[in-house]
């Protein structure tokens, strides 16, 4: 409830304004466009994108795109059309405008790192949306267009809350309700300028946009592209992922990596600002041991396919200790923990090989480690691997550390180099 004096002050202010004449120097502010007006004015530049399986004519994925120039080029997300990139002989793209007219489209260029794609259609657009090149203030009202869950073109109001900090890939924090199917759609200012491309959501009014400048860069890159072969884009995806690794893996787990202490061990934590770390412990009267864990992972990743990703780095330290179990029983518990399954990684036999593992014992400065490195190769993207490195300390009678590192979509050189640096960061305090 507002204080009572606020009401009296408001009434007095209203009376004062009615008595004081308006001076000629005071100009009325221009009326702002309403949400219905924005939808009516810009919706015709937005299209629904359907990736269709050619054999059955079934929809494989649905997203949104928008015309970005008079030539008919369309901006959308890479993940919306990724099935066609991976299997161009099995899929095709259909566009549907706000009037219900359909047409075919082809891929002109992709940016897998920033989850963008540019399409082309032979149909001449009635108009297009312009990309905003200037910075937008936090708190600016925005309007997102898209096809949530194939329910029809929808407009969503929200707020620009700046670029996310400490992330691997820049994204605009959009406080608004984006939903599946809106991916690739535009988010506009009241003036109709595109400030970002819808890309992801965490629900509860937390959504994300690819900054408009990244779409500008891809449009410029594809400005002189003629008729690229559909089969060439998967190789381009592989090249982009390889080129991107240096940016975030070089120097990771180097000598300046922050440290955390778990029992008798001195361990790496949060190797870069784009990691998030958590810690927890299990101490129960009914359990004859204590488990303390420390878990860190990158806060973002590159979408490669529905079964694959790149850029995920996760590591997990688990300290087991006991004052009740004898050495034999503790060793049984500790061994079972070390032999537990690898980190969950998706992928079917059409996309990845089975994991192959190597095991060896390693002498460290103040102790010994048992180390296992497992890797599997991407079949459609040569030279890329998923890997899990696991190390366990050896020799203690009542305490032991199991530390696990997982990497997704990286070169084998990076698998070896990052795993080696990680292992060298596992140290004893005494």
Say if residues 109 and 222 touch (Cβ distance below 8 Å). yes
pLDDT over 50 at 7, yes or no: no
Q: Which residue has the tokens 């982009």?
A: 240
Predicted model pTM: 0.87
pLDDT over 50 at 15, yes or no: no
Residues facing residue 407 across a β-bridge: 313, 387
d(CA 339, CA 383): 28
Quick one: average pLDDT of 101-121? 96
Percent of the chain predicted with pLDDT > 70: 92
Reference 311, options 202, 215, 418; nearest CA is 418
Q: Where are the domains of the chain?
A: 35-221, 241-428
Beta strand pairing status for 193-203 and 130-131? parallel
pLDDT over 60 at 21, yes or no: no
Could you read off the pLDDT of 297-335 as tens digits, one per residue?
998 899 999 888 999 999 999 999 999 999 999 999 988
Say if residues 315 and 293 touch (Cβ distance below 8 Å). no
d(CA 371, CA 361): 6
How many CB atoms lie under 10 A from the CB of residue 200?
18
Q: Residue 240, SS3?
A: helix
Task: Give the pLDDT score at 307.
Answer: 85
Reference 389, options 368, 366, 412, 367; nearest CA is 412
Beta strand pairing status for 58-67 and 313-321? unpaired
Q: Is 295 exposed, middle or buried (0-12, 13-18, 19+ CB in 10 A)?
A: middle
d(CA 305, CA 379): 13
Please name the residue ranges forming H helices in 306-359. 327-338
d(CA 105, CA 234): 18
Relative orientation angle of helices 412-424 and 232-249, to the nearest 10 degrees: 20
Question: What's the whole-number average pLDDT of the chain?
Answer: 89
Reference 378, options 346, 404, 342; nearest CA is 346
Quick one: average pLDDT of 150-170? 94
Q: Which residue has the tokens 């500008």?
A: 216
pLDDT band (50, 70, 90) for residue 285: confident
Q: Encoding tokens for residue 128?
A: 């297009």
pLDDT over 70 at 10, yes or no: no
Q: Residue 207, SS3?
A: strand
Task: Give the pLDDT score at 25.
Answer: 40
Could you read off the pLDDT of 205-243 as tens digits, one per residue?
999 999 999 999 999 999 987 778 777 899 999 999 999
Beta strand pairing status for 259-262 and 73-76? unpaired
pLDDT over 70 at 341, yes or no: no
Task: Give the pLDDT score at 339.
Answer: 84
Third-level CATH fold of 241-428: Protein Transport Mog1p; Chain A (3.40.1000)
Say if residues 144 and 186 touch (Cβ distance below 8 Å). yes
Task: Give the pLDDT score at 28.
Answer: 42
CATH class of 35-221: mainly beta
pLDDT band (50, 70, 90) for residue 31: low
Task: Give the pLDDT score at 16.
Answer: 29
241-428 matches 35-221 in CATH topology: no
Picking from 47-61, 191-205, 240-254, 344-358, which range would have the lowest pLDDT averaged per residue? 344-358
Could you read off the pLDDT of 372-419 as tens digits, one per residue?
999 999 999 999 999 999 999 998 888 999 999 999 999 999 999 999
């Amino acid at each position: 409830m507002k204080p009572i004096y606020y009401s009296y002050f408001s009434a007095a202010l209203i009376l004062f304004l009615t008595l004081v004449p308006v001076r000629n120097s005071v100009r009325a502010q221009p009326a702002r466009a309403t949400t219905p007006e924005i939808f009516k004015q810009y919706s015709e530049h937005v299209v629904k994108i359907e990736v269709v399986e050619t054999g059955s004519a079934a929809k494989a994925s649905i997203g949104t795109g928008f015309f970005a120039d008079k030539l008919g080029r369309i901006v959308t997300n890479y993940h919306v059309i990724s099935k066609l990139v991976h299997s161009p002989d099995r899929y095709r793209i259909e566009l549907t405008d706000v009037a219900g007219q359909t047409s075919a489209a082809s891929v002109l260029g992709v940016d897998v790192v920033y989850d963008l794609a540019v399409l082309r259609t032979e149909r001449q657009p009635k108009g297009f949306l312009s990309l905003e090149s200037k910075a937008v203030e936090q708190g600016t009202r925005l309007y997102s267009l898209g096809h949530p869950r194939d329910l029809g073109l929808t407009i969503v109001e929200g707020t620009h809350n700046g670029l996310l900090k400490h992330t691997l890939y820049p994204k605009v924090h959009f406080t608004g309700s984006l939903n599946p199917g809106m991916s690739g759609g535009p988010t506009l200012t009241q003036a109709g300028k595109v400030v970002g491309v819808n890309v992801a959501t965490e629900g509860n009014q937390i959504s994300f946009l690819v900054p408009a400048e990244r779409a500008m860069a891809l449009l410029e890159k594809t400005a002189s592209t003629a008729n690229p072969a559909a089969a060439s884009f998967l190789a381009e995806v592989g090249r982009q992922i390889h080129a991107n690794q240096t940016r975030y893996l070089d120097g990771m787990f180097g000598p300046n990596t922050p440290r955390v202490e778990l029992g008798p061990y001195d361990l790496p934590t949060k190797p870069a600002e784009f990691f998030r770390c958590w810690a927890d412990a299990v101490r129960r009267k009914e359990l004859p041991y204590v488990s303390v864990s420390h878990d860190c992972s990158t806060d973002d990743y590159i979408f490669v396919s529905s079964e694959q990703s790149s850029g995920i780095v996760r590591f997990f330290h688990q300290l087991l200790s006991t004052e009740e179990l004898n050495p034999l029983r503790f060793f049984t518990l500790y061994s079972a923990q070390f032999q537990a399954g690898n980190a969950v990684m998706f992928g079917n036999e059409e996309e990845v090989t089975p994991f192959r593992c190597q095991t060896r014992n390693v002498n460290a400065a103040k102790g010994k480690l048992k180390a296992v490195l497992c890797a599997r190769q991407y079949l459609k993207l040569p030279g890329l691997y998923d890997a899990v490195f696991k190390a366990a300390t050896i020799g203690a009678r009542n305490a032991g550390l199991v530390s696990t590192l997982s990497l997704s979509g990286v070169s084998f050189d990076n698998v070896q180099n990052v795993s080696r640096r990680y292992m060298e960061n596992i140290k004893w305090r005494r």
